[in-house]
Amino acid sequence: MNINVLKAYQDIQKIVEPSESQSPKGPKSSEKTKGFGDFLSDAVKDVNELQAKAQHQAESLAMREPGATSHEALISLQKAEMAFQLMNAVRTKIVRAYEEVLRTQV
Amino acid sequence: MDPFEVSAAGLSAMRMRVNVIAANIANAETTRTADGGPYKRKDVVVTAREEKASFESALDEMSMAKPEVAAVVEDNTPPRLVYQPGHPDANPEGFVAYPNINVVQSMTDLMTATRLYQANVSAAKALGEMAREAQRIAGS
Amino acid sequence: MSIIDKMFNQETPGFEKAMDLTWRRGQAIISNVANAETPRYRAVDLDFGSELKQAFQAQESDLKTTSENHFDTVSNNASHLTADLSGATKADGNNVDIDVQMGKLHRNQAQYMQAATILRQQLRIIMSAIRGASV
């Protein structure tokens, strides 16, 4: 088994909060939001794809198509849920970043 | 092929076989039935019903085989004749026709059939446990 | 490949494949048990080939691949049905040995449940990491 909890946590952190080293030049605020925007649109795409896949597999299972296994659909459903949670986390960070920017502009 | 269906079909076929063998044993001494004449030993003919018309290989065909009872047939070998002139079912020569059932053989068959039925029950249970374990993956 | 895919592909493909293969093997064994008395039925089994090993190799490698072409496809040995010759052939042509099959069934079930448990734990840990990061 090769679960590395710390590594998983760090990976998630990296996704949700891209570090300054990824955007070294230019005004700090706009560079930061640009990085966030990319991650968010990728995350949204992921979520759509995974949810579509999960939906399709669940339907195949319900219609008892040959080759449809119960664990396949269940795993996809779980991954879709996790992708959604991740997207949510990214979205929350973006909203907070904007709020912070708005505060400092006063 | 849905393994639940295959398992259920196996249970169904095997249960019928158990019942038929048990009926044979119970009627080993029945000299007169409603149709007249002694009880005739019965047997179960099982075939595998395939759902697809053609298979890529014999292996595919086997892996999708769903057992079913094609027929319950009667054994038409002549009955055992026993000389018992006083018996109500004796024929004019004094012989009584007894069912052509070997009780010892039937008991052995019953034990085997019961064992196979129980194995199928065990297999169906294992399948259910696997499906339930997979369900635990979703929703944490 | 998406962020999410990359995240999952580091942890789960091996155990997902294990569940797939053991489930399909279970189907073959169930068929054998159900047809233990079907005349002319020949027992079958599922050979995993190198599918499982490859799935775990993909998981543990440091290569961030975007296609399966990066892996050794020369020795690609897909899983396939095989004839199960563990039992003797009876007079009616059936060769299922119920004791052997039941042994296989229970061992296979244990493997399936084990893979399912590990996979479930992995997904839960990742989910916790996600939830922890969104605080």
Best of A51, A63, A71 to disrupt the B interface (most B CBs within 10 Å) is: A71
Size of interface A-B (CB pairs under 8 A): 21
C69 CB neighbour count, 10 Å cutoff:
7
Rounded CA separation A54/C9 (Å):
17
What pLDDT shows up at residue B64? 81
Helix (H) or strand (E) holding B74: strand B66-74
Nearest CA in chain B to A71: B134
Pick from C24, C130, C133: which is nearest to A82 by CB?
Answer: C130
Instruction: Give the tokens for residue B102.
Output: 């070997």
Quote the percentage of chain A above a pLDDT of 70.
Answer: 63
State how far residue C55 is from chain A, nearest Cα, in angstroms.
13
The amino acid at residue C116 is A
- Answer for the pair C41, B48: CB distance below 8 angstroms, yes or no: yes
Per-residue pLDDT 10s for chain C (135 aa) are 566 677 777 778 899 999 999 999 999 999 999 999 999 999 999 999 999 998 888 876 644 444 444 555 445 688 999 999 999 999 999 999 999 999 999 999 999 999 999 999 988 888 888 887 766
Cβ–Cβ below 8 Å for A50 and C59: no
Q: Identify which of B111, B57, B61, B102 has the alpha carbon closest to the alpha carbon of residue C98.
A: B111
Best of A15, A40, A76 to disrupt the C interface (most C CBs within 10 Å) is: A15
Cβ–Cβ below 8 Å for B6 and C31: yes
User: Per-residue b/e over A65-90, b at no fewer than 16 CB within 10 Å?
Assistant: eeebbbbbbbbbbbbbbbbbbbbebb
pLDDT bin (cut points 50, 70, 90) of residue A24 is very low
Give C5-62 as a DSSP string.
HHHHHTTSHHHHHHHHHHHHHHHHHHHHHHTTT-TT---EEEE-TTHHHHHHHHHH--
State how far residue A35 is from chain B, nearest Cα, in angstroms.
30
Instruction: Establish if A68 touches chain C: CB-CB under 8 angstroms.
Output: no
Size of interface B-C (CB pairs under 8 A): 112
Q: Which residues of B touch C (CB under 8 A)?
A: 1, 3, 6-7, 9-11, 13-14, 17, 46-48, 57-60, 62-67, 113, 115-116, 119-120, 122-123, 126-127, 129-130, 133-134, 136-137, 140
What pLDDT shows up at residue C3? 67
What pLDDT shows up at residue B94? 92
What pLDDT shows up at residue A40? 72
Burial of residue C91, with CB atoms counted within 10 A of its CB: 0-12 exposed, 13-18 middle, 19 or more buried: exposed
What pLDDT shows up at residue B52? 60
Residue C102 to residues B4, B121, B137, C17, C99: CA-CA distances in angstroms? 16, 11, 26, 23, 5
Domain that includes residue C76, residue range = 3-133
State how far residue A12 is from chain C, nearest Cα, in angstroms.
6
Query: Which residues in chain B are closer than 8 Å to C110, comparing Cβ atoms?
Result: none
Pick from C27, C83, C117: which is nearest to B1 by CB?
Answer: C27
Helix (H) or strand (E) holding B67: strand B66-74
Number of domains present in the structure of chain C: 1
In chain A, where the domains are located? 28-104
Q: Is B139 left (phi over 0), alpha (psi -120 to 50) or beta?
A: left
Per-residue pLDDT 10s for chain B (140 aa) are 689 999 999 999 999 999 999 999 999 999 988 888 899 999 999 998 766 656 677 788 888 889 999 999 999 999 999 999 989 988 899 999 999 999 999 999 999 999 999 999 999 999 999 999 998 988 75
Rounded CA separation A27/A104 (Å):
14
Query: Which residues in chain A are closer than 8 Å to C121, comparing Cβ atoms?
Result: 3
Instruction: Establish if A44 touches chain C: CB-CB under 8 angstroms.
Output: no
State how far residue C28 is from chain A, nearest Cα, in angstroms.
13
What's this model's pTM, rounded to 2 decimal places?
0.81
* Lowest-pLDDT choice from A4-13, A59-68, A77-86: A4-13
